[in-house]
């Protein structure tokens, strides 16, 4: 089964589209709440480190918040539980949503934090410009409400420079075309932290074994066993 990226990854179909699924079954918020010992994750910045505005890739994903969350998952059995929930989400929600029975899938989601008076990702970019293969579909899960200046701002169409926010309530997932559309963060003036995670799916018909690229941030190659793992519905 093949995916038609140019047809489906447009507004009105799967670009900036909120998924409908069993949100209670796939509620990832408790992993973060237990880690940070906080019920309202939008207040996680209080009594915790603040940072100067991020201007370069690297420091924006190496904060105290990132390290605490990843270490918590690594050092407790919560990491295995979250991995299992994520794997089930891919099989039961994401692949059916894309009408695929197999795909290359990011092994584990990327954690994001946008603190008040800061941004989450340092620079405006499209994922393809950072080395990601053309054809990837992006998804974002919200631990907290994403709104106004703490949302992801993205082009409606590639190269058109017309930006709109991806806004959603906590414990929801949206799909979007960050592969070709430029996207960025505004300075977060909401007074609330935005906590989220994102992940990518590459349909097999867009995988080119003769042109293997590498991740800008992790240097992992975009192959099965590298950045991705192949997921198949039985």
* Tens-place pLDDT, residues 117-145: 999 999 999 999 999 999 999 999 999 99
**Tell me, what's the pLDDT at 214?**
64
Structural domains of the chain, with CATH? 5-232 (2.60.120)
pTM summary value = 0.95
- Token digits for 58? 């690297």
Query: Which residues fall within 8 angstroms of residue 168, CB to CB, at 6 or more apart?
Result: 18, 140, 142, 145, 146, 174
Least confident span in 56-65, 105-114, 207-216:
207-216
- Pick from 122, 141, 120, 128: nearest CA to 182: 128
- Pick from 110, 97, 73, 112: nearest CA to 20: 97
Average pLDDT rounded to a whole number, residues 145-171: 97
**pLDDT tens-digit profile of 195-221?**
999 999 999 999 987 666 666 566 678
Which three-class secondary structure string do you get for 107-154?
CCCEEEEECCCCCCCCCCECCHHHCCCCCCEEEEEECCCECHHHCEEE
Cα–Cα separations (whole angstroms), residue 169 to 18, 89, 143, 172, 210 = 10, 18, 9, 6, 41
Query: Which residues fall within 8 angstroms of residue 147, CB to CB, at 6 or more apart?
Result: 165, 167, 190
């Amino acid at each position: 089964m093949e995916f038609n990226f140019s047809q489906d990854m447009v507004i009105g179909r799967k670009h900036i589209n909120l998924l409908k699924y069993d949100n209670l079954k796939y509620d990832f918020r408790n992993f973060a709440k237990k880690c940070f010992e906080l019920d309202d994750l939008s207040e996680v910045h209080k009594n915790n480190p603040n940072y100067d505005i991020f201007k370069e890739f690297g420091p924006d994903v190496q904060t105290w918040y990132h390290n605490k969350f990843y270490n918590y998952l690594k050092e407790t059995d919560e990491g295995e539980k979250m991995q299992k929930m994520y794997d089930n989400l891919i099989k039961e929600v994401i692949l059916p949503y894309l009408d695929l029975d197999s795909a290359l899938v990011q092994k584990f989601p990327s954690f994001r934090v946008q603190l008040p008076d800061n941004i989450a990702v340092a620079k405006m970019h499209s994922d393809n410009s950072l080395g990601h293969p053309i054809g990837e579909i992006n998804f974002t899960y919200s631990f907290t409400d994403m709104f106004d200046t703490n949302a992801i701002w993205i082009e409606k169409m590639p190269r058109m420079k017309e930006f709109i926010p991806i806004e959603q309530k906590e414990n929801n997932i949206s799909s979007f075309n960050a592969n070709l559309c430029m996207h960025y963060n505004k300075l977060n003036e909401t007074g609330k932290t935005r906590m989220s995670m994102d992940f990518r799916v590459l349909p097999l018909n867009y995988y080119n074994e003769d042109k293997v690229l590498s991740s800008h941030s992790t240097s992992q190659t975009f192959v099965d066993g590298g950045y991705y793992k192949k997921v198949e519905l039985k």
